[in-house]
Amino acid sequence: MRVNLAKHKLTHTGEKPYQCDICDKSFARRSAVTVHKRIHTGDKPYHCDICGKSFSNCSGLTCHRRIHTGEKPYHCDICGKSFSMKFNLDTHRLTHTGEKPYQCDICGKSFSRDGNLAAHKVIHTGEKPFQCDICGKSFTHKSGVIVHKRTHTGEKPYQCDICDKSFSQSGDLSTHRFIHTGEKPYNCDICSKSFTQKGHLSRHKGIHSGVKSHHCDTCGESFSEIDHLTTHRLIH
For residue 133, is pLDDT > 90?
Answer: yes
For residue 3, is pLDDT > 60?
Answer: no
- Quote the pLDDT of residue 9: 61
Residue 169, domain member (yes or no): no
Residue 92, domain member (yes or no): no
The structural domain count of the chain equals: 3
Residue 203, domain member (yes or no): yes
CATH number of the domain within which 211 lies: 3.30.160.60
- Quote the pLDDT of residue 233: 78
Pairing relationship of beta strands 186-187 and 194-195 according to DSSP bridges: antiparallel
Q: Any idea what DSSP says for residue 169?
A: S
Domain with 64, as residue range(s), is: 2-69
Residue 86, domain member (yes or no): no
Which residues face 103 on adjacent strands? 110
For residue 1, is pLDDT > 70?
Answer: no
Compute the mean pLDDT over every residue in the chain, rounded to the nearest whole number.
84
User: 151 and 190 share a domain?
Assistant: no
CB 44 within 8 A of CB 61: no
Q: Please state, in angstroms and rounded to a whole number, the distance separating the CA atoms of residues 63 and 167.
A: 19
pTM over 0.75: no
Residue 25, domain member (yes or no): yes
For residue 135, is pLDDT > 90?
Answer: yes
User: 190 and 229 share a domain?
Assistant: yes
CA distances from 88 to 27, 115, 123, 143, 187 (A): 24, 12, 24, 16, 25
Q: Is the model more confident about 207 or about 52?
A: 52
Percent of the chain with pLDDT strictly greater than 90: 13
CB 223 within 8 A of CB 212: yes
Residue 74, domain member (yes or no): no
Contacts 24+ apart (CB under 8 A), 96-101: none
Q: Is the model more confident about 74 or about 197?
A: 74
Pairing relationship of beta strands 54-55 and 46-47 according to DSSP bridges: antiparallel
Query: What are the residues whose beta carbons fall under 8 Å from the beta carbon of 163, sequence distance 6 or more?
Result: 180
